[in-house]
Amino acid sequence: MDARSAPDEDTALERAALDVLDANWTGTATVPSVGRYPHQWSWDSAFVAIGLSRRRWSRACEELLSLFAGQWSTGMVPHIVFDPAARDSYYPGPSIWRSGECAAAPRGVPTSGLTQPPLHACAVWWIWRYARDRDAALAFVRRTWPCLVAQHRYLASARDLGGEGLAAIVHPWESGLDDSPAWDAPLAALPMVGYACGLEDWRSDSHHDRWVWLALRYRDAGYGPGYLRDEHPFAVEDPMFNGIWLASCLALADLAGVIGADGRPFEEAAERIRGGLLARLWEGAFYARDLRAGSLIPIRTIGGFGPLLDPGMPATVVGPLVELLESCFLGPSGYPVPSCEVRALQFDRERYWRGPSWVNTNWLLRQAAAGHGLGALERLLATATLRLVRQAGFRECFDPFDGMGRGCRDFSWSAALTLDLLAG
């Protein structure tokens, strides 16, 4: 079936996507899924804003503004902004994070203490690009500019734990690719811990205790930057997180032009990150670097394609990366793009971020392909992603072999990015 051929089918799909986003809208933000994720997540909101920017422009703006209401005075944009009305239904909730006890956290807006991939400057660029009311768009860019600059400053200062220009994640949840096999070794190096949190589902319960333990350690150290630098046992330079950061630096350089600010510092930041990616994470493919073990983590996952988001990546890197994508990810799967190399021992078609295909990473790779003029790859990713949602619905993720939906239904970023893919 040609997923782009029938206009009335496209209209029905678009309607269905908007219905999901309307149902998941709380009045101030879009939750990823009403049942399982009843709060606002950081990179989910960026994807939602991108998807809404051509169809519900004002709501796309509101989405990001409500996220920035949770930004800390350090500049950190938290990975969850909690909805007090849904307070007890997600673990770990506000009573675990206790952001209110930290002076840097905003008053009256409970949040987590971690961050997530910084896609937000790209989302603001999208909103600027598709605005019909240019005055309102300019006002929005001016309003969000200080938040974005503070976010980037935070990453460049508090998170350059390796000292070479890359930002480190300090918890698997910060990658957004939570249960990726790339985090197995750094998690296994942590002490044995046990919490009876009762999480027994398709996510990796063996890792869950360690995830919670890491979060509690960071919290008990007051979410301090000195503790992160000197003591925190999980510190990893992730190619996806840094590839997204780089793309957002380029978006900030463009947005600077919009408001008459100087874009050069952001171009320089992008160059620094590119240099760091090539010097520290590239070894024929991009791998995550475990700063505590002092070595690369030798497993190829979807995260390794994050640096393709940089249109300035040299052809000597882009060529082998695309070859790897085709031979080890696209070729052996029916429905792109599996979140882990299919022939890896750790590949698991059912467990989240260890095999299934996701709409958001497909969309990111499609953007990357467009940036490198890889038209055939760009079209393949768009068509295959639309085929997945047509066949299985707006699921959280999909079986990479048969396209069956996995995880929650009516998942916001799957619906939002479908809108963007349909718009072409």
From the candidates 62, 83, 178, 209, which is the catalytic residue?
178
| 209 near ligand 2M8 (CB under 6 A) | no
In 3D space, the residue among 333, 276, 334, 338 whose CA is nearest the CA of residue 305 turns out to be 338
Neighbours of 190 (CB within 10 A): 17
**At 129, is the secondary structure helix, strand, or coil?**
helix
Query: Has 178 been annotated as catalytic?
Result: yes
DSSP one-letter string for 14-56: HHHHHHHHHHTB-SS-B-SBTTTB-SEEHHHHHHHHHHHTTT-
In angstroms, what is the minimal distance from the CB of 329 to ligand 2M8? Answer: 19
Integer angstrom CA distances of residue 224 from 143, 230, 261, 339, 400: 28, 10, 31, 32, 40
In angstroms, what is the minimal distance from the CB of 43 to ligand 2M8? Answer: 6
Query: Has 14 been annotated as catalytic?
Result: no
**Contact between 119 and 416 (Cβ < 8 Å):** no
From the candidates 396, 399, 410, 420, which is the catalytic residue?
396
Q: Which stretch binds ligand 2M8 (CB under 6 A): 39-47, 149-157, 258-266, 365-373?
A: 39-47
**Size (the chain), residues:** 424
| 232 near ligand 2M8 (CB under 6 A) | no
Name 417's Cβ contacts closer than 8 Å, sequence gap at least 6.
Answer: 47, 50, 51, 359, 360, 363, 385
In 3D space, the residue among 13, 263, 300 whose CA is nearest the CA of residue 182 turns out to be 300
Site for ligand 2M8 in 18-37 (CB under 6 A): 32, 37
Q: Toward ligand 2M8, which CB reaches closer, 333 or 414?
A: 414
Q: Toward ligand 2M8, which CB reaches closer, 79 or 300?
A: 79
| 213 near ligand 2M8 (CB under 6 A) | no
In angstroms, what is the minimal distance from the CB of 412 to ligand 2M8? Answer: 8
| 173 near ligand 2M8 (CB under 6 A) | yes
What letter represents residue 93's amino acid? G
| 79 near ligand 2M8 (CB under 6 A) | yes
- Per the rule left: phi > 0, alpha: psi between -120 and 50, beta: everything else, 258 is alpha
Binding mask 178-207 for ligand 2M8 (x = CB under 6 A): x------------------------x----
Q: Give the residues lining the site for ligand 2M8 (CB under 6 A).
A: 32, 37, 41, 43-44, 79, 173, 176, 178, 203
Q: Which residues are catalytic?
A: 178, 396
